[in-house]
């Protein structure tokens, strides 16, 4: 492949940083746009896309279920502005191809609100009824990008993430994703310590390591697939099982205290990633290996 000029928005986030390194290692000229560039302002979006061939648009506000539940208006406002501005800027500057990172949060509640395991396919998104405003905004922004593809010929690729985790991700109580937050809680609790968990812990999730995620984004961006694609794994387990696996890796026993008055999200979120598999991608990092690497990372910060 010829050397490309690539812009990665959200470049100071963990996925963005890993992606920038990945792309540079492949020999491409990569520029990053971070929160300091404030893509909510159109002129900034226009500036970072000037002279660019491809854009990986990762920029977004996100965080834990607590954060997305309690900051709905801010999330919807800021994330919608970023995508509206970036879509128009890519069009005006003649960017050839864009990858937009969406989320499994776009999928409707009714296929995730019981203990029955229903692997979610991309077409299950309709009839639409996401469980959070964060999910509604993600789905709206998918339509923004597809509108620019249909009207102006901008080539668009869309990924839908199922719980990406890994080293170098945000580590704080409010913004961290579950594996990072739980790893920090277990380490801080120590042998026999109390670990507080939202809900009864029987909600089920899968987790995809950041290294596998970045490789998937590259494969998807280079494909001819212009419809949304799930990025996830087969590592479905309960949050109780996740906490105990993390404790096993840390070498301690913990006492889980369930906070039943807290938001726990959908009951089961199971990814059907057969579409991504058909493009030649298979996750390589097992959950235990990824959590072990995460454990070592948290001990260093």
Burial tier of 193 (Cβ tally within 10 Å: 0-12, 13-18, 19+): middle
**3-state per-residue secondary structure call for 138-197:** HHHHHHHHHHHHHHHCCEEEEEEECCEECCCCCCCCCCCCHHHHHHHHHHHHCCCCEEEE
Query: How high is the pLDDT of residue 174?
Result: 59
pLDDT tens profile 81-134: 999 999 999 999 999 999 999 999 999 999 999 999 999 999 999 999 998 999
> Residues 251-271: what's their mean pLDDT?
93
Whether 27 has a pLDDT exceeding 60, the answer reads yes
CA atoms within 13 A on the CB side of 29: 7
Query: How high is the pLDDT of residue 286?
Result: 96
Residue 62 lies in a domain: yes
Q: What is the pTM of this model?
A: 0.94
Residue 52 lies in a domain: yes
137 Cβ neighbours under 8 A, 6+ residues apart: 75, 76, 79, 80
Residue 214 lies in a domain: yes
The domain total for the chain is 1
Query: How high is the pLDDT of residue 168?
Result: 82
pLDDT tens profile 60-80: 987 777 778 888 999 999 999
Instruction: Label residue 264 by pLDDT band (50, 70, 90).
Output: confident
Query: How high is the pLDDT of residue 123?
Result: 98
Query: How high is the pLDDT of residue 66?
Result: 76
Residue 54 lies in a domain: yes
Answer for the pair 232, 282: CB distance below 8 angstroms, yes or no. Answer: no
Residue 100 lies in a domain: yes
* Residues catalogued as catalytic: 134
d(CA 193, CA 137): 38
Query: How high is the pLDDT of residue 41?
Result: 97
In this structure, the strands spanning 204-205 and 237-238 are antiparallel
pLDDT tens profile 193-218: 999 999 999 999 999 999 999 999 99
pLDDT tens profile 149-162: 999 999 999 999 99
Query: How high is the pLDDT of residue 190?
Result: 96
Residue 258 lies in a domain: no
Instruction: Label residue 173 by pLDDT band (50, 70, 90).
Output: low
> Residues 13-18: what's their mean pLDDT?
93
d(CA 235, CA 227): 24
Residue 96 lies in a domain: yes
Residue 15's domain spans which residues? 5-166+207-235+268-284
Whether 141 has a pLDDT exceeding 80, the answer reads yes
Terminus-to-terminus CA distance in the chain, angstroms? 38
Query: How high is the pLDDT of residue 263?
Result: 80
Domain CATH code at residue 102: 3.40.50.720
Residue 294 lies in a domain: no
């Amino acid at each position: 492949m010829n050397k490309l000029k690539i812009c990665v928005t959200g470049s100071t986030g963990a996925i963005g940083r890993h992606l920038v390194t990945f792309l540079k290692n492949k020999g491409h000229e990569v520029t990053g746009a971070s929160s300091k560039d404030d893509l909510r302002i159109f002129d900034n979006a226009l500036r970072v896309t000037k002279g660019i061939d491809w854009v990986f648009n990762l920029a977004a506000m996100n965080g834990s279920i607590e954060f997305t539940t309690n900051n709905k208006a801010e999330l919807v406002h800021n994330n919608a502005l970023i995508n509206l501005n970036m879509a128009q800027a890519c069009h005006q500057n003649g960017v050839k191809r864009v990858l937009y990172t969406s989320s499994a949060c776009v999928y409707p509640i009714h296929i995730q609100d019981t203990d029955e395991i229903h692997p979610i396919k991309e077409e299950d998104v309709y009839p639409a009824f996401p469980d959070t405003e964060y999910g509604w905004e993600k789905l709206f922004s998918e339509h923004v990008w597809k509108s620019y593809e249909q009207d102006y010929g901008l080539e668009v690729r869309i990924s839908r993430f199922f719980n990406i985790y890994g080293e170098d991700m945000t580590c704080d109580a409010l913004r961290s994703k579950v594996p990072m937050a739980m790893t920090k809680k277990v380490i801080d609790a120590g042998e026999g310590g109390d670990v507080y968990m939202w809900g009864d812990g029987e909600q089920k999730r899968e987790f995809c390591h950041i290294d596998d995620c970045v490789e998937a984004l590259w494969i998807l961006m280079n494909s001819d697939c212009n419809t949304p694609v799930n990025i996830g794994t087969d590592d479905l387990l309960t949050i109780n099982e996740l906490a105990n696996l993390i404790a096993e890796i840390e070498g301690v026993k913990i006492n889980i205290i369930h906070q039943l008055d807290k938001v726990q999200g959908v009951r089961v979120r199971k990814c059907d990633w057969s579409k991504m598999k058909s493009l030649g991608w298979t996750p390589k990092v097992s959950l235990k290996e990824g959590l072990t690497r995460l454990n070592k990372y948290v001990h260093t910060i």
